[in-house]
Structure 1
């Protein structure tokens, strides 16, 4: 049995994968301390971990900070909003994360650290600040892999190029991407200097992938872009099954999924569902007269829906994806990595409708591997939705490509992979 500290910023989509891995480690006999937000205290103790709360200054409710923050929403999607997120959500707690992490390592110097990739509490020591390092440090990447490579950019290889011309073009594009996150790098540099770091802060995503001993990416290489020079720290670990609470009852309409009509699932994820007029409502409107059954999972009370569901729609707050996706023919999503990959792993093509955070990177992978269509907007029109759904349901190559990738996902065991990296 080994001692493992698991740590994450208090963001739902970042914390849940770390705690799911922690649950697997506990079942295998490891002693786990969960350094996570107070919102997740019950989840941490329920899996058998010791909960240590993030200190004041590093703890917050991401539903307010990310989902409905007027300062954030006033920024245009893209680099400005992405830098705001990284600085105000993920970097803001670095100093206090560092302090509490050092206290835990002082108490247990032989502990290993399993951190979310956007938990920067170990960065100061990694860059020369005084303090202990864990026995092993493994970082878990939940979103798309974003690391510079001579064979690709964050949104895929540049079409029509080869040889040295392609290498130079990819290097230039990667440097341009780093430059868009320079405000984040400077903000991190200032905090690191205050903590006594002696080495300069690298480009943000170079820090993510090159500072830990190992990086476990929750994806498979078959869903990534081809890479020529990946960092030696990078390991593809596969995806985790969707989290489940108490076993929910099947909705009364469950048998309708076997009606013979194609089943189209639509979701805006767990955070970006404050305005269902972005994707859920246009989808219901667009497909009202189509020969499909639409299942809308809202992540919130169905009474908040701003349109009356048409006769061919079924609406729910939540339906477990591992039950629903095997019955689905298509997923329409705002583009989060978790839902996108769960669909592809189930052999289900996707329509991507996201423009913020890492969503364009996920959409680029979907388009590159032809497992779906990228609409390149978070607010598609009904006409765009109908065209995409009709195209995918009418072209079996999308389903065939998703089925091929499904077999790739089945070959991975993320808990075993992470446990091996922690040794």
Structure 2
């Protein structure tokens, strides 16, 4: 029997895409620095970053990008959950099983702990009765790490998807409950599809509850790297839910190569606040997954191109990318605009006055942790919900669309930068930054490990 004081061997598993693995990568780096042995399962393109943390990289071969390339134009989030995620279960489960068996062979007397990104799709067969890995008489303790907003099916908040504003009047509560029932009917086919995959892997129990409760109930605890105030209050929150605060910023290291135009940013920042030469900095991104630059990035640089009082910085989200219009022609770059293929958000955001983002949750949390007000435009996946929460807490302007017009973007940026309303956006951004920093997320995460393992 291993000593309760021994640190467990940690197996981390994340869906093989950067946005899903980023949070657990930061956590793994912290754990390795504090004496834990970590095995990390994710996609091959993430191997350098995983190995940089000191963790042992294990490849998940699921080629989600190939699947995504076949995505129909009219596909919705249900298509994604069925084909990108549920269909990955075979590969993901096999690799997790093999890794757990390897760890048991290498460390026969040590406790094992699983860090499971909520859409890793590797754990659920075990949770529903699939045979245990060899060498285990019970399954290890599990921390389920969620990389987005809370999507538990609770009638006290709007149902997930359309980004309905949070206004819990009796009439809205009744409507939300009715909508939640309809939503379960829509997601039922995905649950059935997932259940069929489970059966081929030897499960003995059916999936219970709704789709999102199924995803959230996989661990002993479900962790959100955010403060509670970043999400809607629930009347009956699950006791498994833990909000640990946003993960620390990751500033560029000594080897980081800054773009040639970087002195433009630093020289502007060095000017005194009242200088007539000091310009406001607008940082715009289309994210890293839904990369139609006509949605947000191109309209932003076009509508702000005549503003000599602004520096607009646009990152394309993919190394080696070039900015082109929808017809494939090189996009014109205004004189006040700097474009780069890929840039770490935490390098530029400390200099930004407003962050124009497609509302991916990772980008949203980078804005929060840097204390930067936002303009958000996105409706696919979880983006409408992220935008709605940003608006509700007062840290950003929600454009309520996937394809933003130039007029709407300009008005929103001007609102965030205005003398009348700008200070309240900035004050809320700084308040939330401090709130999340004070929660000390990495230390809180290690506290959860200690709680689960009895150390």
| 2:278 is equivalent to residue 260 of structure 1 | yes
| Structure 1 stretches lacking a partner, 5+ long | none
Q: Is the 8 A contact 1:352 1:372 kept in 2?
A: yes
Indicate conservation of the 8 Å contact 1:257/1:327, yes or no.
no
The question of 1:129 aligning with 2:130 is answered yes
Any gaps of 5 or more consecutive residues in structure 2?
1-6, 105-110, 270-276, 325-329
Deviates more, 1:144-153 or 1:177-186: 177-186
1:182-205 Cα distance to aligned partner (Å, 9 max, x none): 232121111112223232223221
In 1, the alpha carbon distance for the partners of 2:35 and 2:338 equals 42
Per the normalisation by structure 1, the TM-score is 0.90
Distance 1:408 1:242 in 2: 14
Q: Does 1:416 align with 2:443?
A: yes
SS at match of 1:276: coil
Residue pair 1:294, 1:314 contacting (<8 A) in 2 also? yes
The one-character-per-residue Cα deviations of 1:374-412 (angstroms, maximum 9, x if unpaired) are 112121111111111112222132222222212211112
1:45 aligned to 2:51?
A: yes
- What's the TM-score, normalizing by structure 2? 0.84
User: Structure 1 residues 324, 41: CA separation in 2 closer, same or farther (over 3 Å shift)?
Assistant: closer
CA–CA distance in 2 between the matches of 1:238 and 1:158? 22
Shift of 1:249: 2.5
Q: What do the CA deviations read for 1:311-344 (whole angstroms, capped 9, x no partner)?
A: 1112222333223212111111111011112212
Whether 2:407 is the aligned partner of 1:383: answer yes
In 1, Cα distance between equivalents of 2:344 and 2:124: 36
Give the aligned partner of residue 156 of structure 2.
151
Answer yes or no: is 1:105 the counterpart of 2:110. no
Q: Hey, what's the Cα distance between the residues in 1 that align with 2:415 and 2:396?
A: 10
Residue aligning to 1:327 = 351
* Conservation of the 8 A alpha-carbon contact between 1:257 and 1:293: no
Cα deviation code 1:124-159 (max 9, x no counterpart): 121222225542101111111111224212346653
The structure that has the greater radius of gyration is 2
Q: Distance in 1 between matches of 2:387 and 2:64?
A: 27
Aligned residue pairs total 409
Alignment check: 8 A CA contact 1:38 1:59 kept: no
User: Conserved in 1, the CA contact under 8 Å of 2:96 and 2:122?
Assistant: yes
Corresponding residue number in structure 2 for 1:294: 312
| Whole-angstrom CA distance in 2 between matches of 1:206 and 1:160 | 22
Instruction: Name the Cα RMSD after superposition.
Output: 2.2
Please list the CA deviations of residues 250-280 of structure 1 after superposition, one character each: whole Å capped at 9, or x if unmatched. 524223543522211100112223x322211
The answer for the alignment partner of 2:230 in structure 1 is: 223
- Whether the aligned pair in 1 keeps the contact of 2:350 and 2:370 (CA below 8 Å) is yes
Local SS of the residue matching 2:76: helix
Counterparts of 2:415 and 2:363 in 1: how far apart (Å)? Answer: 21
State the shift of 1:23 in Å: 1.2
1-structure distance, mates of 2:72, 2:118: 24
* Structure 1 pair 315–100 and aligned structure 2 pair: CA distance change class (3 A): closer
Q: Deviations over 1:23-55 (max 9, x none)?
A: 11111111111122222223222222222222x
Q: Do the aligned partners of 1:39 and 1:61 also contact (CA within 8 Å) in 2?
A: no
CA contact (8 A) 1:72 1:81 kept: no
